[in-house]
């Protein structure tokens, strides 16, 4: 059983949305479970986002009855209420593929493209992802106590935790580790409009975005995301390792250009003696004891790691520690500055793009990153749950012992060897 999502819609069509198949039956669900993330993603939130005024009100069309999931496909729709295709239907915009946009590549692939906005490459497409991710998040929270929180970690050259010689990667920085251990969405949203959980950094980043906006330019940045209370054993080696699935999901988001997990690229500057994560006995997790998984007998991991440079995944499989990663977003491609480029007919010219666009997508990308993370973990949980259920129906193999039994057998063997050594005569030959 898998959780399958089909999104539909373009930037300026009548509606956008998705169909989600594979949601378990019997879960309470209505629009109020989905709307908060939709509102966090919507345009027009502040002076440093696009002025397009969409309310992004989600409507559940199918798959629930009396506020309970039926186990059948869930259809969701959001009307495009403030689309302005005329911004794109002028003599200038029709002549040029926008630099670093998808106009040219979509035309090359399909032989036709949407004449307004970015079509399927527009960020409006991510509405379906966020709606589907909100459903996955609710299930993961109820079943395993999983928490997913993302925040802005860099805008241009401004970093929340800039790399230093002592800490070339945030994974060795105690302040960063303390942050991802406790950060909540409420704390992130208390630092609008940039959503970076630090007052001084927030102001610098906001000013930097405003500076590029006023120059009719754009700027990129990074989003860091943490997944807490994730069970161990998730991931499907070798080609669908958990970090590979996360990278695939994140790099499918419009405008993404990079992905790193755990220590990331900064970890290449750390020696193995520091980078290795020693194992320790895991403390009890109070939140997990109240979940459906605990009630069903799914135990929490008995071990965890003293450090977490691995980012909660080893060998492509979750180890029960916090999973954290960072996603890089490029500067938005559509800017108001005049750009020398080439028309579709191969003649040179100057493009001054029109329309309403974000000078930086990072603050609005945060719920999208959270949603895609939820969809990946949902798939992994369902795959592992199916495997564990199938295994539980088989009779135990006589020649296979558990980790606990293996440890006891090892201890017994050592005790027997010690006893033999103590009983051995002192003058006996070796």
* Residue 359 tokens, joined: 């000078």
**In angstroms, rounded to a whole number, what is the distance separating the alpha carbons of residues 158 and 206?**
10
* Contact yes or no for 151/197 (Cβ under 8 A): yes
Q: Which residues contact 353 (CB under 8 A, 6 or more apart)?
A: 93, 98, 334, 335, 336, 339
Please say whether the beta carbons of 82 and 52 come within 8 A.
yes
- Spatial neighbors of 5 by CB under 8 A, at least 6 apart, are 18, 19, 20, 21, 128, 129, 132, 375
Residue 97 to residues 181, 218, 329, 352, Cα–Cα distance (Å):
45, 18, 21, 12
Do 76 and 131 touch, CB atoms closer than 8 A? yes
Residues 6+ apart with CB under 8 A from 151: 160, 183, 188, 195, 196, 197, 223, 224, 225, 366
d(C-alpha 126, C-alpha 136), whole Å: 15
Q: Which residue is associated with the tokens 């300026």?
A: 12
β-pairing verdict for 323-329 and 256-261: antiparallel
Q: Which of 275, 375, 280, 369 is nearest to 319 (CA)?
A: 280
3 touches 23 (CB < 8 A) = yes
Query: Looking at the annotation, which residues are catalytic?
Result: 12, 101, 358
Which residues lie across from 304 on neighbouring strands? 280
Whether the Cβ atoms of residue 115 and residue 199 lie closer than 8 Å to each other: no
CA distance 181 to 169: 17
């Amino acid at each position: 059983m898998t959780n399958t999502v089909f999104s539909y819609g373009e930037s300026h069509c009548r509606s956008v949305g998705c169909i989600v198949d594979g949601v378990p039956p019997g879960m309470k669900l209505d629009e109020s479970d989905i709307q908060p993330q939709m509102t966090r993603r919507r345009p027009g939130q502040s002076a440093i986002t696009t002025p397009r005024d969409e309310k992004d009100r989600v409507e559940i069309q199918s798959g629930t009855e009396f506020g309970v999931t039926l186990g059948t496909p869930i259809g969701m729709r959001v009307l495009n209420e403030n689309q302005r295709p005329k911004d794109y239907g002028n003599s200038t915009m029709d002549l040029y593929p926008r630099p670093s946009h998808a106009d040219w590549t979509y035309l090359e692939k399909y032989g036709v493209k949407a004449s307004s906005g970015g079509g399927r490459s527009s960020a409006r497409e991510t509405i379906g992802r966020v709606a589907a991710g909100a459903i996955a998040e609710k299930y993961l929270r109820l079943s395993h106590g999983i928490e997913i929180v993302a925040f802005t970690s860099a805008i241009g050259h401004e970093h929340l935790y800039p790399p230093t010689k002592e800490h070339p990667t945030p994974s060795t920085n105690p302040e960063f580790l303390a942050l991802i251990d406790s950060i909540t969405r409420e704390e992130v949203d208390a630092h609008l409009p940039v959503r970076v959980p630090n007052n001084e950094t927030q102001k610098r980043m906001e000013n930097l975005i405003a500076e590029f906006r006023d120059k009719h330019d754009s700027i990129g940045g990074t989003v860091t995301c943490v997944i807490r209370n994730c069970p161990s054993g998730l991931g499907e080696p070798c080609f669908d390792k958990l970090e590979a699935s996360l990278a695939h999901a994140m790099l499918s988001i419009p405008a993404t250009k990079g992905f790193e997990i755990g220590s990331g690229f900064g970890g290449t500057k750390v020696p193995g003696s520091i980078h290795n994560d020693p194992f320790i006995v895991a403390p009890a997790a109070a939140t997990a004891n109240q979940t459906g998984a605990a009630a069903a007998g799914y135990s929490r991991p008995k071990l965890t790691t003293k450090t977490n440079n691995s980012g909660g995944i080893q060998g492509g499989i979750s180890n029960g520690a916090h999973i954290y990663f960072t996603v890089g977003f490029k500067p938005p491609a559509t800017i108001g500055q005049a750009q020398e480029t080439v028309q579709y007919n191969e003649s040179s010219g100057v493009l001054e793009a029109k329309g309403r666009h974000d000078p930086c997508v990072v603050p609005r990308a945060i719920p999208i990153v959270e949603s895609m993370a939820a969809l990946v973990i949902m798939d992994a949980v369902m795959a592992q749950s199916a495997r564990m259920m199938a295994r539980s129906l088989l009779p135990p193999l006589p020649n296979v012992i558990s980790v606990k039994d293996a440890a006891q057998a090892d201890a017994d063997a050592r005790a027997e060897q010690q006893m033999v050594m103590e009983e051995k005569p002192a003058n006996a030959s070796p």
